């Protein structure tokens, strides 16, 4: 508490305890907020962590499927992540992996029962890829991290962010594939968009692979572009700093000369 050297002479407009709390609240929001949003861009599971391509390739023939998969994935992931981080360190070391796998499998089954009741069509469309959520690379990889490092709220937000990132990519891929492959983009049998000439290639297996290839290349280009931009801005800043320093030194010199003269 070394505030004694610079005691403010005036009373601050808003009393300190309140500004402290506001600062703490802001810090809280950005901290947890970043947990959530990290998974969308910076830690995007598909394009950055490079995991989870199996469903991305298999399920993205229609937009409906992508949304169904994304939603199911989100529920299973978020639930498992929260539960596992609550258990945290208490799990017996040797059986950790099997325990986690079982938990994820239980949630997957739960979601499957709900979907069977309410959305049987979607469940059927996802066929064998739905159960594979239980062994999804993203989930199993991430929950290890959750159990070790984070508290339940953080794990919840992290899983939410990653699921959002995953779902967004899935939606993008399936939109491209469905729109270019069949001429229409449909959501629950409502036509959202239409083009005139289809390129049926995208509905086929190789089309999925090609779409992902092009998307990753696109993100690479964007990343390099952003990096270059940052580089340019940085150089400009440094240039300005150098100029400013030069001016300051010149001023100092002039002042010294004047002082000497006197």
Partner 1 sequence: MDEKLEKEVHASALHLFLSEKINRKMWLVVAALIPSFIIGMQYFGLRSALVVTLSLSTAMLTQAGCNILRKIPFYREQGAAVVTGLLLGLLLPHTAPLWMPMFGAFIAITLGIAVFGGSKNTIFHPVLLARVFLSISYPAIFSQTIWPDGVPAASPLTVLLTKGQQAFLILFEDSASALSFLFFENVSGLIGEVNALVILIGGVILIFARVIDFKIPLLYLATIAIFSLFMNHNPLYHLLTGSLLLGAFFLAPTFSTTSQKNSAKITYGIGCGLLTMLIRVYSSPLEAVFFAILFMNALSPLLDKIAGEKLNEMQD
Partner 2 sequence: MMLVNNIVLVKFLGVCPFLGISKNIKSAGMFGLAAAALMVFSSAVSWSIYHLFLKPFGLENLTIIIFIFTLAILIEILDLIMHKYFEKIHSAIGIYFPILATNCAIVGIAFLTTEENYSLIHSLIASAGAGVGFILVLLIMSSIREKTETMHIPEPFKGLPLAFIIAAVLAMALMGFGGLAP
Given the complex with partner 2, which of 70 and 154 has the nearer CB atom? Answer: 70
Quick check: helix, strand or coil at residue 7?
A: coil
String marking each residue 133-172 x if it binds partner 2 according to CB under 8 A: -xxxx--x--------------------------------
* Structure token pair of residue 149: 């490092």
Build a one-symbol-per-residue string for 185-214: x at contacts with partner 1 by CB under 8 A, - elsewhere: --------------xxx--x-x---x----
Shortest Å distance, C-beta 182 to partner 1 = 13
The reply on whether position 91 binds partner 2 by CB under 8 A is: no
By CB under 8 A, the count of residues binding partner 1 is 6
Q: Give the separation between CA 153 and CA 37, rounded to whole angstroms.
A: 14
The least CB distance from residue 116 to partner 2, in Å, is 8
Q: Is 216 in the site for partner 1 (CB under 8 A)?
A: no
Q: Does residue 216 interact with partner 2 by CB under 8 A?
A: yes
Using the rule CB under 8 A, is 95 a contact of partner 1? no
Rg (the chain; Cα; Å): 27
Sole binder of partner 2 in the list 205, 226, 232, 242 (CB under 8 A) = 205
Report if residue 53 touches partner 2, rule: CB under 8 A: yes
Q: In whole angstroms, how far apart are CA 107 and each of 75, 76, 78, 134, 246?
A: 8, 6, 10, 8, 65
How many alpha carbons fall within 13 Å on the CB side of residue 34? 6
48 binds, among partner 2, partner 1, none (CB under 5 to 8 A by kind): none
Q: Which long-range contacts (CB under 8 A, 24 or more apart) does 224-233 make?
A: none
* Residue 56: Cβ-neighbour burial (10 angstroms; 0-12, 13-18, 19+): buried
Alpha-helical (H) ranges within 48-151 are: 53-58, 63-87, 96-118, 120-126, 137-149
Please give the residue ranges that form the binding site for partner 2 (CB under 8 A): 50-54, 57-58, 97-98, 101-102, 105-106, 108-109, 112-113, 127-128, 131-132, 134-137, 140, 204-210, 212-214, 216-218, 220-221, 224
């Amino acid at each position: 508490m070394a505030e004694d050297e610079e005691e403010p002479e005036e009373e601050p407009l808003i009393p300190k305890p309140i500004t402290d709390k506001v600062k703490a609240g802001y810090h809280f929001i950005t901290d947890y907020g970043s947990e959530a949003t990290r998974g969308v861009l910076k830690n995007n599971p598909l394009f950055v962590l490079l995991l989870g391509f199996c469903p991305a390739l298999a399920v993205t023939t229609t937009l409906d499927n992508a949304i169904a998969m994304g939603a199911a994935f989100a529920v299973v992931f978020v639930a498992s992540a929260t539960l596992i981080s609550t258990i945290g360190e208490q799990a017996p070391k040797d059986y950790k992996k099997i325990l986690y796998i079982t938990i994820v499998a239980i949630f997957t089954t739960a979601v499957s029962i709900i979907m069977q009741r309410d959305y049987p069509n979607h469940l059927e469309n996802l066929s064998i890829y739905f159960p594979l959520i239980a062994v999804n690379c993203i989930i199993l990889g991430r929950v290890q991290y959750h159990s070790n490092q984070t508290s339940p709220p953080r794990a919840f937000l992290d899983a939410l962010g990653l699921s959002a990132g995953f779902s967004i990519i899935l939606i993008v891929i399936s939109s491209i594939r469905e729109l270019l492959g069949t001429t229409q983009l449909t959501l629950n049998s409502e036509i959202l968009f239409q083009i005139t000439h289809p390129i049926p290639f995208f509905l086929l297996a190789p089309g999925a692979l090609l779409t992902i290839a092009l998307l990753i290349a696109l993100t690479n280009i964007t990343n390099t572009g952003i990096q270059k931009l940052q580089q340019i801005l940085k150089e400009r800043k440094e240039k300005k700093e150098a100029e400013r320093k030069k001016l300051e030194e010149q001023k100092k010199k002039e002042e010294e000369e004047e002082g000497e003269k006197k």
